[in-house]
Amino acid sequence: MITRRHFLAQGAATTAALALPGLAGANTAGFGEIRAQKAAIQLAPASYPRTEIWGYDGVMPGPELRVVQGARVQRSFLNELPQASSIHWHGIRIDNAMDGVAGLTQPAVETGGRFDYDFLVPDAGTYWYHAHNRSAEQVARGLYGALIVEESEAPDVDRDEVLILDDWLLDPETAQIDPDFSSRHDRSHAGRRGNFVATNGRYDLSQEVRQNERLRLRLINAANARIFVLALSGMDGWTVALDGMPLPQPEPVSEAIVLGPGQRADLIVDITAEPGETAHLVRLEDQEGASQAAFPVIGQASADRRATPLSLPPNPGMDVTGLDAASHARLNMQGGAMGTLDAAVLNGERKSFRELVDANEFWAFNGTVGMTDTPLINVSKGETATLEIYNDTSFPHAMHLHGMHFREIGKDGDLGPFRDTLLMFGGETRTIGFVADNPGDWLFHCHMLSHAASGMMTWMKVT
């Protein structure tokens, strides 16, 4: 049994060992190299061939980067892929120059090139890193991993497990990744959805547990487009953080957990199933449930369940104040199949929807396809901004803001949890607010990556 004390001691020992100069390939300490490489992994069941993927350090998911809050992360990124690439550190309130958005915060790193990422992680929580050049292809090929920032005082759990959820679009005969990453249908509808679902690269992920054991489950949706709807079976628990940021109070998991692409949820769960039974993280789909991850129960950790967990400590400087005097903007999301978009500006020219379809572009923000010369929001550092978003399309979208977290402002003015990705369904109007405390050019885009690639991308400027 890994107790909290052991866990912390182990963490400290690991950090010390890897802090030795010249040690290459360190996965868990604050510095090292990270290589984007081609590799082959056994993704499908053993009767299928191995699947060619692109992975960080040749593995999928990429190495779990685990550091303590406030640490400096240094990774020299080496690109050994046949395409230019970059790494985005999703959810980190990061120095803009290190945000990894090819074409906005840095040039894409060409084949054989290198880029030194070097940044501080101000917030504890569950984050992830992934490719941010031609993301619809590169993330689908496997270029992602977890970035875990530990609280200086870890919560009292027996185990801490990262579960990265993804789906893959595989050829059912060869188990190879479908190489059409700009499919007209995927772009214009719900995005690229896979036919093979996995957790941490395994379709049959199974971890032995004991009754009344307490686990922290860090759920990360790394899929291109799939919305995961999840439930617990044989375990019971609380949501303690969303998109990395702690909730003020642990919230009992009483309804399905809905995770759009890019979103995360931290749960603290107690195993309630009896020894000999199996607990599951259940994926709900079409009124049915499938096991997303299995937890066979062997023996008992203790005779009784523990008390309700404490909330996680809040991250520093997280507040949304000044909403009354905020600078306000509006975003109309338009386009897609079964939408109302008649025409939009593409590369400076007004095009009919038919012409957009011919160009394999389908989505517009405020009448423009893709990035504009001027930002959607342009504010001074420290200013508060609000953004009303209308999803005038027939599809859900997961809107991700880089560099800062926001809170949703309810109809009656109540504030929702801090998030970096807002899942919006068709026809919804929602409003978010944030304090623009991080200077730079920040991307704001749909994390359904086929949508981002075909128009759903804009940016904000904080000076």
Task: List contacts with Cu ion (CB under 5 A).
Answer: 397, 446, 448, 451
What DSSP string runs through 273-335?
SPTTSEEEEEEEETTEEEEEEEEEEEEES-SSPPPPPPPPPPPTT-----GGG-EEEEEEEEE
**CB-nearer residue toward Cu ion: 247 or 389:** 389
Task: Output the smallest distance, CB 304 to Cu ion, in A.
Answer: 46
SS3 449: helix
75 or 451: whose CB is closer to Cu ion? 451
CB 145 → Cu ion: shortest distance, Å?
23
Q: How many CA atoms lie within 13 A of 132 on its CB side?
A: 28
Looking at the Cβ atoms of 144 and 365, the one nearer to Cu ion is 365
Over the Cα atoms of the chain, what is R_g?
22
- We find the least distance from the C-beta atom of residue 426 to Cu ion, in angstroms, to be 10
Of residues 240 and 424, the one with the C-beta less far from Cu ion: 424
Quote the least distance from Cβ 67 to Cu ion, whole Å: 31
Please report which helix (H) or strand (E) contains residue 186, including its range: helix 184-188
For Cu ion, the closer of residues 131 and 449 by Cβ is 449
Q: How far is the CB of 341 from Cu ion (least distance, A)?
A: 14
Three-class SS state of 261: coil
Q: Which one-letter DSSP state was computed for residue 61?
A: S
- Separation of alpha carbons 149 and 365, rounded Å: 34
Closest CA to 400 of 150, 224, 246: 224
Shortest distance in whole angstroms from residue 336 CB to Cu ion: 8
Cβ of residue 2: shortest distance to Cu ion, in angstroms? 39
**H or E stretch covering 10:** helix 4-18
Q: Which string of b and e fits 220-241 if b means at least 16 CB within 10 Å? A: bbbbbbbbbebebbbbbbbbbb
Q: Which is nearer to Cu ion, 282 or 449 (CB)?
A: 449
Q: Would you say 320 and 434 are in contact if contact means Cβ atoms under 8 Å apart?
A: yes
Nearer to Cu ion, 69 or 221 (CB): 221
